Structure 1
């Protein structure tokens, strides 16, 4: 049996040697252009399904709901394969001050903060180019992950897990 941990026996230095800052992740998609095709295909699937209901078996083979769904699945797969997952490590307020005071322009300072935090490593210029190529929403996901790393709750979330529908015999 191990001895219980007491304040006198706790090795703070050993614990500190394994401590790290929070890191969060975000996904950015290279092929945002596929979203229009995916949207258009979804509308075609709806129309094909309605046509199939009204006149079963009379839909052109190329516009059959199943064939369109297969094309849709292929496009979604291509879109998802274009994803890049980035990780952003938190900065302390002091680190943020040191990084931002090197830049007169607040926008450049913001890009510099993210550049110092992101993996894979990206320069300020690469981040600006990424921002211009993927747009506000996707770049916003990166900024959100950075802000969550720096200021968010430092606990994992299990909100996505299914909740049990019944209680166990022991009441748990």
Structure 2
């Protein structure tokens, strides 16, 4: 990887060229489409434990080795159902603009006296879907697609996407420590 010279002095420095080379924090995570396979994995794990404890399995029983092969086949099917999604950090300005565009919804609650009250509040689920759609890089998703994925797969399986998007927003706010050359230390400078 070559380092581009953006100018040798502060007066010559080309900030626009430097910014063109920049990028936001990104992360790639997997979302699994077929979560019914997780229950199958748990069932086979239990059968393996039982088979491992048997000293003399009968001829009708499935051996622990055969169960391990079944387990691997289910793992392979689970892996085939995975979708890799790349997300990137979004800015506070983008977040505010997205949230401002989401209509409020009426929410009902009980006050301290037990009386039912209503108030209008931002739709937090719609905001989450919109922020996630904005954060997707590959495959690019619309708000409707994010919502459809969440509805079809459930909150648990898609939580990794929402959590990663939130983590990336935080990542961009903290500068990482930059490693120094091996063998050097800060207090060895003269």
Q: Deviations over 1:116-171 (max 9, x none)?
A: 22131222222112112222222210011101221125659xxxxxxxxxxxxx9x
Taking structure 1 as the reference length, what is the TM-score of the superposition?
A: 0.76
Q: CA deviation at 1:109?
A: 2.1
* Mapped partners of 2:52, 2:24: distance in 1: 51
* Mapped partners of 2:155, 2:164: distance in 1: 14
- Find out whether 1:37 has 2:40 as its counterpart: yes
Change (3 A) 1:42 1:142: same
Higher helix share: 1
Higher strand share: 2
Partner of 1:87: 86
* Mapped partners of 2:90, 2:165: distance in 1: 9
Give the number of equivalent residue pairs.
151
Unaligned runs of 5+ in 2: 104-122, 178-182, 184-190
* Mapped partners of 1:77, 1:46: distance in 2: 21
RMSD of aligned C-alpha atoms?
2.5
Taking structure 2 as the reference length, what is the TM-score of the superposition?
A: 0.70
Instruction: Select the structure with the greater relative contact order (CA < 8 A; seq sep ≥ 6).
Output: 1
Unaligned runs of 5+ in 1: 157-169
Change (3 A) 1:127 1:42: same
